[in-house]
Structure 1
Amino acid sequence: MKKSLTLCALSAALMLAYAPATIAAGQPAGKVAGAVASQSKKQLDKLADEYYDAVARYDPVGATESGDNRFDDQIGMSISPAVRAKQYARYEAFLKRLHAIDRNTLDRGAQINHDILEYELKTAITFKDFPEHLLPLDQMDSMPVTLANYAGGEAAQQLKTAKHYRAYLNRLNQLPAWIDQAIANMREGMRKGVVLPRAPMTSALPQFQKLVSDTPETNIFYTPIKKLPATFSAKDKKELTAAYKATLSKKLMPSLRKLGTFLETEYLPATRTSTGWSALPHGVEWYQANVAASTTTTLGPEEIHATGLKEVARIQAEYGVTGPKMGYNGPAAGLPGWVAEQEKYRPFKTEQEVIDVYRKLDAVLRERLPALFTLMPKAPLDLRLEPELSRATASDHYTAPASDGSRPGVFWSVVNDPKQYGSTGMVTLFLHEGQPGHHFHIALLQEMDLPMFRKFGGNNAFTEGWALYAETLGKEMGLFEKPEDYFGHLNDEMLRAVRLVVDTGMHAKGWTREQSIQYMRDTLGYTEAVARSETERYMVWPGQALGYKIGSLKIAELRQKASAALGSKFSLPKFHEIVLEDGTVPLSLLEAKVQRWIEKESGR
């Protein structure tokens, strides 16, 4: 409840960033006003930089994932109660300093930075009293597995130079202390009743058991030594080999074995048989905080659940129209399962055939997008096949261009077996991951003069909401004329709608894990294994998957609102410009600036 009040007050504050400019009483004028504005902006810029730096130092692995490589030799101890307490004290001090800055003296751009920084700080502080540190690992996210995934040198951690190798080794040397703290935290969680559900922990256990080995040479963390570049000097090769062996044999291997034993013999028996977050102490409030952070709204679980059910029903009605066009005449809910069985929707023999379809689609989009957009990124979009080494664990995705223009944005197509690559979802996938989805948003973000916390931060509701909204533009660009392509779009929409239902169902309405699995099988045609994996993801990441659909629905709602209000004055390219021009923003701020645009255009 407290969270909702905080967000309501914050939404009102965010509205001010796009309210018509007014002169505050007693505000200085002329040169004095200019000096005050300059000083205020300097204070804000300094505070924003300090905030970003504090976050990066607190979570250096997160910084690495975001492309900030300054702390690639650190893992941080954010799960330490003492470190965590100090970080929340920093957030509170930052917020106090932010409120001391006269917002009225800032220009529009600085006011937006001010309001988003306030939003991020208030959101972070909301979690101060929820014991997240007592749940330091799960099947989706853990420090040991993240670092293991870096060992091949193909992920966010660079392993190309001797310096890189030493930075990664330094992280490995810090991992045993992290593991000791994690075990201590989980034991405290066992005493307080703050533990993971049993099913996801059972799924996670093999991950940690695979990190254990009998010799350093057979351990995954020894992989960098097996891949030492030929360009390294003989001295570096010798020193690095000895150092990695020593760290693994004397420190890391015993620590990983201890963790595996603890999880299997102590923690797993103590896990809970309940499904949702509401079973935890203060779980209802904790889940609401997660919902608010993920959606950047004040929507409650009941309202989101109802929205999800409504969307599922709408999409199933569309299935009923689309299915017969594809040759299917069964129940609408059975369409996804039927499509999955049809060989005709797996037409490829080679990976080149797959990428050629995407390139043809890209060429069509380059011709049609200018009718819908005037604001487009300068950085080009390249299309590439995922490297063979990482295909087994990757999915189709987008990587951002370099801010200096040295690297384009890239849509990566992951083709493990071209004969099993489905064609129905290709158009909607490219609209989402490529253009105008992630590429238009993220590449434009790179071109903006924004503080670091905004370039490397953001929120899922806007980022994924925009990409999901971008999929819907395929219809007005004539890209869904084939019923199978439109089905692919509907099927992706269905997944995001189902997430609203099962996430809130499990965490707020008493649904069991088994109910969620069955619901996903019934609505999405998933196999039991896929439905189980998805369900267990939502069980340990409460609220995380809600942002996609909530963000998309909000953008579509704002478009409809603007179109109805402006009539013939409405411009779709201008609407898209309004949405994208300031980078990633909370949905409340997005709504405020669209409203200001409507009022401005109505007055012309």
Structure 2
Amino acid sequence: MKCTTRIATASLAVALAFIPLSNTFALPLADAANRPVPRVSATPAHQALQAIATEYYDAVARFEPIGATENGDNRYDAQLGLSISPGKRALQFKLYRDFAKRVKAIKREVLNAEDRLDYDILRYELRRLIAMERFPEHLLPINQMDSVPVTLANYAGGQASQPIGTVTQYDAYLSRISQMPAWIDQAIANMRDGIKKGITQPKAIMISALPQYKKLLSDTPEQSIYYTPIKNLPASFSAADKARLTEAYRKQIAEQIMPALGRLAAFVEKDYIPACRTSTGLGALPDGAAWYQARVANATTTSLKPDEIHAIGLREVARIQSQFEVLGPKLGYNGPAAGLPVWVAAQPKFRPFKTEQEVQAVYHKLNDVLDTKLPLMFTLVPKAKLDLRLEPELSRDTASDHYTAPAIDGSRPGVFWSVVTDPTKYGSTGMTTLFLHEGKPGHHFHIALMQELNLPDFRKFGGNNAFTEGWALYSETLGKEMGLFDDPAQYFGHLNDELLRATRLVVDTGMHAKGWTREQSIKYMRETLGYDEVAKSETERYMAWPAQALGYKIGSLKIVELRHRAEEALGERFSLPKFHEVVLSDGTLPLALLEEKVDRWIAQQQ
């Protein structure tokens, strides 16, 4: 939720968000509204369902332990997993099929309301996971947006999702990086197999990825980013622990990790990039059209077709640009509406920063303002705090501003990571809407709260992209009601970010379903959004993660639709805090189940 939560990671929420699902599975209507606490049921059906749910979550977390870490579950921090191994992958899908049979054997009608919701979501997830088996994503183990070596490097400072502060945590991180050489060798073997089968990444995104892998190399173990924990050894550690850990890290990095990273960088540069495809979209691969449709269904939790989403995107682009006609003169711009983003991007006054600290100060001030305004809109809020941090230097060139979940035990807060590669180029107009999305009430109010709800682990640490990103994008719209967009520059930033999400619907479906080239996408984004270099990185993001970016706008449009439906039906009885509670109080739901829940709430209020 990565994911995304940080989407550049293999987190459980994100892993599920990227796994294709079947179009043929119709969701039963959900029966849970505001679930009672605690969950009390002792029927055999309840016990059987919860046993399956527990085993299922554990199986997924052990298969993708980095996913558990990213979502705040640190019980698997010593494990890396080898989910890209064809053998392990086959065994995992067999597990999923076995779980699906066991769930199907439970009679749904004998379950109580809250168990039925667990049942529906579990069946939904298993069906989409099983549908993934058809598509060989393990042959595409790395790209410029996420890879295990870069993710583990980002953990090295101990400030990200994997804490490194106690002796046990130091041992866990050492154990995890010690498993990386085997992962790298499996990834290389998979990519060689992919070359033979004509299943490779687009060449352009691997050219963008290569500098990351080279940057991980170092002349000595002490210079390696993976040695960072040893440079930060707590004074409280015993002399024996300090000596043991220092020697173990140095030996592992020198003898295993650096040679493996050298193999990876050399393979990518000399063998893989020359063999990579020059095409752009997923549709160019064998079975690519079905592969992309499955990802679309998964990312949106709908049965929408790429052509339908493309049309929605074009309509949204036109609607938002029409608002630029009114806004432009307030900013001092009197040209064509479509040219407003380009004009704003060229104005030095909207890039006022000289240091990273100046950027951070704006976010801290906004955070304080929201603390006074959000209580009027929300009564259901997370207990976990939100911290504001700068993105680690290693990943700044490819990362986007993002959120990571708090630790489930409360030892680490939720974090909003701002990516400041060059403060003099950091635009000020989009900062408010960005923080509403990645910070609060966006990802933090949803993801941190979900961990505090009385939910089974597979829901507490899982999710789907349409709800997760749809809620965050909907949260941006609340800025207008709070008066945060009274400044025309900040309102432009909000509209322009909304335009980005609409543009994604156009270019993602364009590249993966309509044959658009990378260059076509970059050109369209530049002309529509006024972006320059960002158009390249955004386009390459969608190339690396087909359909992931579709969930934002599709999910947001559904939540806005449901709110309008409730406002019209309830009139003066409509309560915005209560509506938000209804949306958030069961954690992440597929959109069909969310709609049924809101409709039930409306009927109860009437």
Taking structure 2 as the reference length, the TM-score comes to 0.89
Say whether residues 1:122 and 2:127 are aligned partners. yes
The one-letter code sitting in structure 2 at the alignment partner of 1:485 is Q
Greater shift, 109-118 or 169-178, is seen at 169-178
Aligned counterparts of 1:385 and 1:172: Cα–Cα separation in 2: 24
3-state SS in 1 of match to 2:177: helix
**Matching residue of 1:178:** 183
**Matching residue of 1:585:** 589
**Matching residue of 2:254:** 249
CA contact (8 A) 2:345 2:531 kept: no
Greater shift, 380-389 or 211-220, is seen at 380-389
Aligned counterparts of 1:217 and 1:124: Cα–Cα separation in 2: 41
Aligned counterparts of 2:440 and 2:143: Cα–Cα separation in 1: 33
**Matching residue of 1:511:** 516
Aligned counterparts of 1:578 and 1:417: Cα–Cα separation in 2: 41
Aligned counterparts of 2:351 and 2:200: Cα–Cα separation in 1: 43
Say whether residues 1:431 and 2:447 are aligned partners. no
Say whether residues 1:221 and 2:226 are aligned partners. yes
Superposed CA deviations along residues 524-544 of structure 1, whole A, max 9, x for unmatched, are 1111x2211111111111011
Superposed CA deviations along residues 453-498 of structure 1, whole A, max 9, x for unmatched, are 1111111211111111111122233332221121111011011111
Are the structure 2 counterparts of residues 515 and 415 from structure 1 closer, same or farther at C-alpha, using a change threshold of 3 Å?
closer
Are the structure 2 counterparts of residues 153 and 600 from structure 1 closer, same or farther at C-alpha, using a change threshold of 3 Å?
closer
Unaligned regions of 5+ residues in structure 2, if any?
1-18, 34-39
Q: Percent identity of the aligned residues?
A: 64
Unaligned regions of 5+ residues in structure 1, if any?
20-34
Match of 2:26 among 10, 13, 25: 10
The one-letter code sitting in structure 1 at the alignment partner of 2:543 is M
CA contact (8 A) 2:310 2:510 kept: yes
Aligned counterparts of 2:401 and 2:22: Cα–Cα separation in 1: 37
Question: How many angstroms does 1:356 deviate by?
Answer: 5.8
CA contact (8 A) 1:391 1:415 kept: no
**Matching residue of 1:25:** none
**Matching residue of 1:27:** none
Are the structure 2 counterparts of residues 485 and 324 from structure 1 closer, same or farther at C-alpha, using a change threshold of 3 Å?
same
Aligned counterparts of 2:176 and 2:414: Cα–Cα separation in 1: 29
CA contact (8 A) 1:359 1:383 kept: no
Say whether residues 1:106 and 2:111 are aligned partners. yes
CA contact (8 A) 2:79 2:175 kept: yes
Are the structure 2 counterparts of residues 413 and 173 from structure 1 closer, same or farther at C-alpha, using a change threshold of 3 Å?
closer
Aligned counterparts of 2:97 and 2:112: Cα–Cα separation in 1: 25
Are the structure 2 counterparts of residues 266 and 415 from structure 1 closer, same or farther at C-alpha, using a change threshold of 3 Å?
closer
Question: How many angstroms does 1:197 deviate by?
Answer: 0.7
Say whether residues 1:548 and 2:552 are aligned partners. yes
The one-letter code sitting in structure 1 at the alignment partner of 2:231 is K
**Matching residue of 1:168:** 173
The one-letter code sitting in structure 1 at the alignment partner of 2:26 is L
Question: How many angstroms does 1:101 deviate by?
Answer: 1.4
Aligned counterparts of 1:590 and 1:540: Cα–Cα separation in 2: 29
**Matching residue of 1:441:** 446
CA contact (8 A) 1:385 1:415 kept: no
Aligned counterparts of 1:176 and 1:410: Cα–Cα separation in 2: 30
Aligned counterparts of 1:228 and 1:364: Cα–Cα separation in 2: 37
Question: How many angstroms does 1:331 deviate by?
Answer: 2.0
Question: How many angstroms does 1:75 deviate by?
Answer: 0.9
Superposed CA deviations along residues 336-391 of structure 1, whole A, max 9, x for unmatched, are 22222323334557777656655554555455445444x32152655645488789
Aligned counterparts of 2:191 and 2:435: Cα–Cα separation in 1: 41
Superposed CA deviations along residues 38-73 of structure 1, whole A, max 9, x for unmatched, are 221111111111111001100112212222222222
Aligned counterparts of 2:69 and 2:58: Cα–Cα separation in 1: 13
Indicate the structure (1 or 2) with the bigger Cα radius of gyration: 1
Question: How many angstroms does 1:558 deviate by?
Answer: 1.6
**Matching residue of 2:604:** 600
Question: How many angstroms does 1:159 deviate by?
Answer: 2.1
**Matching residue of 2:578:** 574
Are the structure 2 counterparts of residues 387 and 140 from structure 1 closer, same or farther at C-alpha, using a change threshold of 3 Å?
closer
Say whether residues 1:311 and 2:325 are aligned partners. no
Are the structure 2 counterparts of residues 259 and 369 from structure 1 closer, same or farther at C-alpha, using a change threshold of 3 Å?
closer
The one-letter code sitting in structure 1 at the alignment partner of 2:168 is K
CA contact (8 A) 1:336 1:525 kept: yes
The one-letter code sitting in structure 2 at the alignment partner of 1:280 is L
Give the number of equivalent residue pairs: 582
Aligned counterparts of 1:82 and 1:319: Cα–Cα separation in 2: 54
Aligned counterparts of 2:357 and 2:367: Cα–Cα separation in 1: 15
Aligned counterparts of 1:296 and 1:93: Cα–Cα separation in 2: 23
Question: How many angstroms does 1:547 deviate by?
Answer: 0.7
Question: How many angstroms does 1:95 deviate by?
Answer: 0.8
Taking structure 1 as the reference length, the TM-score comes to 0.89
Question: How many angstroms does 1:399 deviate by?
Answer: 4.7
Write out aligned runs for 1:404-483 (5 A): 409=414, 411=416, 421-483=426-488
**Matching residue of 1:78:** 83
Greater shift, 228-237 or 321-330, is seen at 228-237
CA contact (8 A) 1:379 1:401 kept: no
Aligned counterparts of 2:89 and 2:20: Cα–Cα separation in 1: 24
Greater shift, 309-318 or 478-487, is seen at 478-487
The one-letter code sitting in structure 1 at the alignment partner of 2:561 is E
Which structure has the higher relative contact order (CA within 8 Å, separation 6+)? 2
Match of 1:154 among 153, 156, 159: 159
**Matching residue of 1:51:** 56
Question: How many angstroms does 1:333 deviate by?
Answer: 2.0
Superposed CA deviations along residues 400-459 of structure 1, whole A, max 9, x for unmatched, are 456566766555666677665533223322322333322332343233100111111111
RMSD: 2.8
